[in-house]
Each structure stands twice: as structure tokens, then as C-alpha cells.
Amino acid sequence: MARGRAPEEEPEQRSPLAGGCVLLVLAGAALAAVFAASREAGVLAVWVAGGLALWRSARRRMSDSSAPPPPGEGRPSCRECAGHTPIGAAPLESEEGMWIFKSVPPDRPNHTHIHIAARPRG
């Protein structure tokens, strides 16, 4: 009889939430021990943990992955926008497929021209 290899079993995939749950249970047990020792120390520990969490979230940098793409060559062309310098484009949240284009006229540097149109395919 030919003896074949037994197929190797794939390692079990672990959830990234499992480690977070374990840490949460351990932190809860430590907090319960601090509250058991002294009620004031427990309240102080909760405030310190909250302050550290707030400080950490405020220091975290936002990624640029959610930023809209820069305006390309396919910007709207209308007689009002002719000769303007484009300064930005952003998607219009209330209408899918519509964009807000901002430009500056050459003769009015402190004026921003806003044009709402569908993003041209370019």
C-alpha cells in the first residue's frame, strides 16, 4: 500500500480582538484590586487612565488616506472659471459624484470662486 502524506493542518487564525479582550480583563482585575485597597486610589486610577487615553488619542496623527484626490486636468470648464488658478477640489457629501471646485481669479486674489459640478472624466 502506498502511504501518502497526511495533509498539514492550517494553523488556527487568531482574532486580533482576543488580545484586546484579555488586556481588558486584566486591566479590570487590576482596577478592582486598587478599588479594594482604597476607594480614593481607585477613582484616581480611573482619572489617570482616562487622561492618558485622551492624551494618546490627541497625539495620534491622522492618515492622509481619507483625503480627497487633488484636482487633475479634468477640472470643470465654464466661462467664469477661465483663467482661474485652481486651489482645491473636494467631494460634495450630499450628492454622490458631485465635486466642489475652488479657484482664484487672477484679478481678484482675495476672492475664491466656487464651482459645483460632476467630476469630469479625464
Instruction: Give tens-digit pLDDT for 14-63.
Output: 787 888 899 999 999 999 999 999 999 999 999 999 999 999 988 887 66
Predicted confidence at residue 26, as pLDDT, reads 95
Letter for the amino acid at 16? P
Q: Which of 84, 83, 88, 95 is nearest to 72 (CA)?
A: 88
Separation CA 33–CA 97 (nearest Å): 55
Under a CB-based contact definition with an 8 Å cutoff, are residues 108 and 75 in contact? no
Task: Give the separation between CA 110 and CA 87, rounded to whole angstroms.
Answer: 12
- pLDDT tens for 63-112 read 656 655 554 555 566 666 777 888 888 888 887 778 888 888 888 878 88
State the pTM of this model: 0.40
Would you give the DSSP letter of residue 102?
E
Question: What does the pLDDT read at residue 121?
Answer: 58
Q: How confident is the model at residue 114 (pLDDT cuts 50, 70, 90)?
A: confident
Give the per-residue pLDDT at 2: 55
